[in-house]
Chain A
């Protein structure tokens, strides 16, 4: 993200974008293989008949022959050469399926764009039409219509009938995407500039939905092949003397036992076409929407604790040494946390501060043992002397929620939408303390009361969607204190909330600390919050700790240029509160391509040649105040 990145209006797909899509598609080996197979099948169907010496309607003197050199696929009881027939059938089926897909894409896109763009009555009416099409089995209506038209004028009418029945899937997909796009800035901007609706639809919306359309139309080709062959199979599609793959299977069905060659080859061709189209569709989806691309394939969760020599002082609750977390990713492994040392004393509130991507949330997940399988952890995390790195899952589970509890960022998504509040809080009590549901529910009401949920007892039966964001976060905090934990990790607990609510939730956290004496690791990018509650502050940059000290140390005399930059950044009223603002030029480094020296060097005003040579370690500024910088200068910033 560059500092001046504004929502860029996407007015058309640039050629470069399509090139990356092509590259990504080519990386999808199955899809490429499928494309090759489909190309071969198409050649077989359209070029094959020109080269093969039997015509599909030619009657040879050899009838009912099994496959031989003269007739590679055998002949039927009338003496038709099956290879010629399968080629003709494939040709017909492909022609029909492609026309169906094109027609359906056209009708579906227009309907979807119009419905999604205009919404309201137009949308309702169009969607009812779509519903209606979904109400009757396609094959039935196609049979009714097919009986009327198809016999007379061949593949084109069958294609028209099927397209008229199959456009609805495309319409639904397109409508969904358009509904989402409509609210985006660039559409609003175009409208503000006075562009007409048609113009907006054609030049701003269409290019942005090309991806989903391409994918759903590709898949549609496969459905169309299956629909056409089924239709021909029941006798309402392609009619003799012409032939189609479905018709060939139908003719062979009574003779599977006696002349199996007639049955297998047309079926296998259908299967091959549909299969390769589905794989191509899959590859296209991954190429067009990389967000959905699969993660690494192998499970690589490894955790090896390091030996520790030093004695951990008795008042230290959590002691992290040399913590490293690496994520396996396609291509290169990505480090997320690098050599982190951190101590938390009992009852202490430590603010862990940094930009998103600095590794602070990964650190939290590592302490909780909640990292995804792709992550490798090493180093040492000791809670009250117990080593957590490499701890077996059943023992880890007994720590979670009992000794260490967690509060997540977004209260809107961290509660199960289908269970009641009372159930979820009572469950947190019961999982570690056992007892009856009734007792647990009583305790849940008490806990909710502590965190300031009004009328708690009567709200136990409510569902999360009946609570406001701030109230939900209180519920999550109530669950966190259900078992009097020693440590609460709060990962951006107020970021998703309104400013006014933020203060209340913070107050609830503070009350919880007074009451339970739990230590709190408060992860945030908002220095204002840290200033209010934290005893000590740890600043992270690019996966490393760059400065740590008491709140007074760090706020009054920041030693590292990055920390100073953070403190100088002034919150501005004209941007949403959750946007991260730093008065520091440039952006954080890519974790796969870290600078060789100080990771902050590219953005640092104080950078010298030395800074690029080796990564500075933490050095003492004053007692208990450490910073990772070669040019430590302790200035007292006026507050």
Chain B
């Protein structure tokens, strides 16, 4: 409970900064041009009343300060405001797209974390072995790999695999088949099939960094006095590694993973565009292009919220794993 209070206090301090930055971003997007350009230039011309009505609907007839005020009061009440796209509600769009994106972000993070722990521990325990060298080189390689390039590479690999085997094992376009397959199980398999390659992209990029980190924190713990004392007690090496070394070396990784959530999310935005998913990435890019202030603001707010939730979860996990934090008043 204390940790919740701590997180809340931190949030409160962040509020003024958050206000200033939303204002700045609002100004930027609002200043980026007229969202109705396309409507105005449409052939045959749209009646001026329609354009005026649109202007009023989007609040374009008001000074920008007032628009920001309206947006703010709306957001506080849970209303993201109107979208440039008249047929879509921002909340509904973001709701469905967040599900699509978070699905593979979370799976990727989980897989990457498990892999990172395994690889990090193995390379620390077998320091300077050929396995360690292999993992270290792979780590450096993926650390330097542009995610979009890797995504296209995997996509091409998928195409070739499908062609070679004459199957449709991998799906390269979209986050699900249209129309969806009839049964629920088939739908599940369909979604999973679409998810594989984008997930692998995210996993490869991030597990590299995390395993490097896990390796060095494991090495540090292995050289610690309490691991030496545990060995001196006569505990078998396995117990020393699992109970003493791994357990303590995990806590710092949690912080790193939580901090990296934004990076994974950013990676997801890029990966999604390669695989043409209708997820958060696509929504952000199309909203920016449409100069849809409200949609962009909503996107950023939701992303920030997701990050905060994630950090909170990490804080709680951290406290659960480390009694020193738990008892801090």
Contact = CB atoms under 8 A, between A and B. Distances in A.
A299 interface: yes
Given A129-B17, A147-B32, A271 B149 contact: yes
Interface string A406-421: 1011100111111100
B147 A402 contact: no
A405 B232 contact: yes
A311 B153 CA distance: 72
B247 interface: yes
A416 B248 contact: yes
A400 interface: yes
A208 interface: no
A230 interface: yes
Nearest to B321: A418
B323 A417 contact: yes
Interface string A378-407: 000000000000000100011111100110
Interface in B279-325: 284-285, 288-289, 296, 299-300, 303-304, 307-308, 321-324
A400 B262 CA distance: 47
B226 interface: yes
Interface residues of B, number: 70
Interface stretch (B57-65, B137-145, B178-186): B137-145
Contacts, number: 207
A139 B269 contact: yes
Interface in B16-52: 17-18, 21, 25, 28-29, 31-32
Nearest to B326: A463
A277 B327 CA distance: 42
A124 B284 CA distance: 31
A431 B327 CA distance: 29
B147 A230 contact: yes
Given A137-B303, A144-B28, A415 B233 contact: no
Interface stretch (A233-241, A332-340, A342-350, A518-526): A233-241
A399 B235 CA distance: 10
B25 A279 contact: no
Contact of B273 (A234, A368, A427): A234
A145 B262 contact: no
Interface string A291-332: 000000111000000000000000000000000000000000
A190 B25 CA distance: 43
A91 B152 CA distance: 23
B241 to A, nearest CB: 13
A243 interface: no
A218 B253 CA distance: 23
A135 B147 CA distance: 20
Contact of A256 (B148, B152, B244, B248): B152
A627 interface: no
A253 interface: yes
Nearest to B141: A275
A140 interface: yes
A278 B142 CA distance: 11
A284 interface: no
A230 B327 contact: no
Contact of B229 (A125, A139, A415): A415
A234 B233 contact: no
A148 B28 CA distance: 7
Most buried by A among B29, B156, B226, B307: B226
B97 to A, nearest CB: 14
B122 to A, nearest CB: 15
A416 B321 contact: no
Residues of A contacting B: mostly? helix
B242 interface: no
Given A140-B303, A148-B28, A256-B156, A465 B229 contact: no
B5 interface: no
B314 to A, nearest CB: 12
A138 B266 contact: yes
Contacts of B269: 137, 139-140, 234
A428 B237 CA distance: 14
Given A136-B307, A270-B146, A408 B228 contact: yes
B266 A370 contact: no
B326 to A, nearest CB: 9
Contact of B289 (A124, A147, A393, A419): A147
B300 A134 contact: no
A195 B317 CA distance: 45
Contacts of B239: 431
Interface in B114-166: 128, 140-141, 143-149, 152-153, 155-156, 159
Contacts of A563: none
A144 B234 contact: no
Given A137-B265, A278-B143, A401 B285 contact: no
8 contacts: A128-B10, A129-B17, A134-B259, A134-B262, A137-B303, A274-B143, A274-B144, A400-B233
Interface of A: 124-125, 128-129, 131-132, 134-141, 143-145, 147-148, 222, 226, 229-230, 233-236, 246, 249-250, 253, 256-257, 263, 267, 270-271, 273-275, 277-279, 297-299, 368, 370, 393, 397-402, 405-406, 408-410, 413-419, 427-428, 431-432, 463, 465-466, 476, 479
Given A270-B146, A479-B229, 4 more contacts: A229-B146, A271-B145, A414-B229, A416-B226
The 8 closest A-B pairs by CB, nearest first: A401-B234, A274-B144, A137-B266, A275-B144, A400-B234, A267-B149, A414-B225, A401-B233
